[in-house]
Structures are given as structure tokens and as C-alpha cells.
Amino acid sequence: MKSIEEYGTIAEENFTKGMNCHQAVLCTFVDDLGEEVCSINHQTAMKWGASFGGGMGRLREVCGAVSAMFSVAGLLWGYDENSAPEAKAEHYALIQELASEFTKINGNIVCRKLLGLDNPGADSPTPEKRTVGYYKKRPCKLLVGDAARIIASKIIERL
């Protein structure tokens, strides 16, 4: 198991290699925890995360990194159709705790607010090119690292 900080760094590196925010966080854990724990591989994680970049397909809603924290939590500790209502409540409490921790650090979980965008609703579906300028003006790399560190702390605490 890696340290909390190492998970954050790996997620940040994944983002700077071109992964979207969800993919960067999800793949950090899928690649480390493996199919035995998560029942998912890297390629599937990439496809799964493809829809969540830019706050869900550039709709600028819930940050993809936050959605990835929730995805990792679901893969590790989620409930299934046979679970008792208490299991749902316990899982939702965990999700709310993760969201709260992210909000304490970053002020919000909504992509447009994190990016300081005034326009409500969707952006163009065409993503911006990943340039030096892009990385300078966007906090996404840091947000991805924060999300990875938050869920890593829960993993280390629970395993």
C-alpha cells in the first residue's frame, strides 16, 4: 500500500498525462488495488471515467475527481441489491463525509464553482488543449490530488 501523499501525486501525474479528472483518480486506485479488490481493470476504468470529465461531460456539475472518489468507495465498500437499508445509509454517510472533506479543502464539489465559471450549464463539448497555459489557469491537477488523498486516507483507515 502506498502512502496518502503518493496516491495524490500519482493522480496528479495521471491528470498531466492527459486523463480527465475522474480517470486520473479512479485509475490511481484501480491500478494499485487490482482486479482482486476492485473487480475492474485499467482499461475499463478509463472507459468508465470517460463520461465524468469536466463535471460530467463538460456540464460543469459535480467535479469528476469527486465522482471518482465516490466510484472508488462504491467499488470497495458499496452495497448491492441484496443489502439491507442500513447498508445504503452507511454507504451514503461515507459519501457525504468524503464530499464534506473535499469541500473543507476546496470550498465546493461543483466543477463550475471550483473553476470560477460564471456561466450556468454546459460548456462546449470540445475539451481545451492541454498546454502549459491550460495547467496554469486550471486548479484541476490539485483537485485531483486532493480527491485521491481523501479516498486514500479512507482506504488506509479501513484496510
Span 20-36, pLDDT tens digits: 999 999 999 988 877 66
CA-wise closest residue to 76 among 94, 61, 58, 89: 94
Measured CA to CA in angstroms, residue 47 lies from 43, 52, 153 at distances of 6, 10, 25
Q: In the chain, what percentage of residues exceed pLDDT 90? A: 74
Contact 144, 15 (CB under 8 A): yes
Span 32-56, pLDDT tens digits: 877 666 778 899 999 999 999 999 9
Query: Can you tell me the distance from the alpha carbon of 65 to that of 19, in angstroms, rounded to the nearest whole number?
Result: 11
pTM score? 0.94
